[in-house]
Each structure stands twice: as C-alpha cells, then as structure tokens.
Amino acid sequence: METTAQRLDRLMDARRLELGLRWKRVADDAGISQQTMLQLRKGHTVSDLTITRAERALEWAPGSISAILNGGDPTPLREDKPETNETITVHWDGELTGPTDPLETGETLRWRQTDAGREYKLAVGEVSVEYTFEPDETPEDVIDDLRDLLEPHRVAVEQLTRRRARR
C-alpha cells in the first residue's frame, strides 16, 4: 500500500511532468534548493514557506500539499485540459506566405479583425507571435514589430535544438 509520503511524491512528480519541468527548474522557481525539494517530496518536515513556494512552482492552489497529506487531491491553479471535447477553431481573415513582399522566405503572416483592433500573427517555422495593432498601422510596420518580438523566441528555439542535439 502506498504511504502518504509516496503519494505526495507521486502526485508532485506527475504535476511536474504535466508542466513539462525538471526538478531543478521546480526548485529554482520555488526559490529552494533541490535537497529541500527532495525532503518535501519524501514527506520530511519542511517550513510552511517552503510548502507555499513549492505549491506556487507546481501551479497548485495554496493548501494543495496539505490536502494530499490528508488524503485529498491538489487543486491546480489552471486547467491544462479543456473541460469539454469541443475544438476551438481560430478564424483568420487573411494569410500571406513569404517570399511575398514584405515577407521573407519561410515567414507566414495571418490577420483578423477583433474588437480591440487588428490582430496579426507572424510565424517562422514552428515559432510564432501574435499582437493586436491599431488599424492605421502599415503592414510593413506591423511585420517589423512582430519580427522584433519573434527574434528572441527564434534564437531560444535554435539554442534548445542545438543543446538537445548534443545529448
């Protein structure tokens, strides 16, 4: 039979995997050492502040770890899965794919009108950014601004890809 500590460790590990995090990242996000995180996971006594920080890093509501220790279940701060089987479809009013001026090869620009203004999405490969602009902005300005927003993400994806290739 599973002990309370084993159940806590199992549920914390499941949440970590659900969020796509490593234990080092969870500990760093909580502002605690990996050793302290391990002590918590194994059911050892830790401070209330440590518990609160761990719950926050795991995106659980306050009191979730206490609930687990008392036989209950944790409460996620956000639901990662939709509550229904409905598919949400986003309709775009238009799309251009480069190399069509002012787009470059590999770039795709989509747009749609919303109550807040015209929303644009610029994608290069699998990396994309969306932003809502004022109606009077030119496509060239919009594309330049979106490229500025996209660049750090594109660089991060390239670095991640290189790191994973070295493994």
Tell whether the torsion through CA atoms of 73, 74, 78 and 80 is positive or negative: negative
Same domain, 100 and 44: no
Determine, yes or no, domain membership for 80. Answer: no
What percentage of residues in the chain have a pLDDT greater than 70?
A: 93
pTM tops 0.95: no
Coil, helix or strand at residue 164: helix
In the prediction, which pLDDT does 164 show? 84
CATH number at residue 23: 1.10.260.40
Same domain, 100 and 65: no
**CA angle, 110 then 111 then 113, to 5°:** 165
Coil, helix or strand at residue 69: helix
Same domain, 63 and 110: no
Note whether 37 and 54 are within 8 A (CB): yes
Alpha carbons 164 and 11: distance in angstroms, whole number = 27
Predicted confidence (pLDDT) per residue in 88-122, tens digit: 566 888 888 888 888 888 889 888 888 777 888 88
Note whether 131 and 145 are within 8 A (CB): yes
Coil, helix or strand at residue 34: helix
In the prediction, which pLDDT does 103 show? 87
CA distances, 73 to each of 13, 15, 53, 167 (Å): 14, 12, 18, 36
Predicted confidence (pLDDT) per residue in 40-97, tens digit: 999 999 999 999 999 999 999 999 999 999 999 999 987 554 455 555 566 888 888 8
- Structural tokens at position 50: 């440590």
How many domains is the chain partitioned into structurally? 2
> Which residue has tokens 């927003």?
149
Residue 120: which domain range? 94-166
Determine, yes or no, domain membership for 81. Answer: no
Determine, yes or no, domain membership for 74. Answer: no
Alpha carbons 96 and 123: distance in angstroms, whole number = 11
Same domain, 53 and 101: no
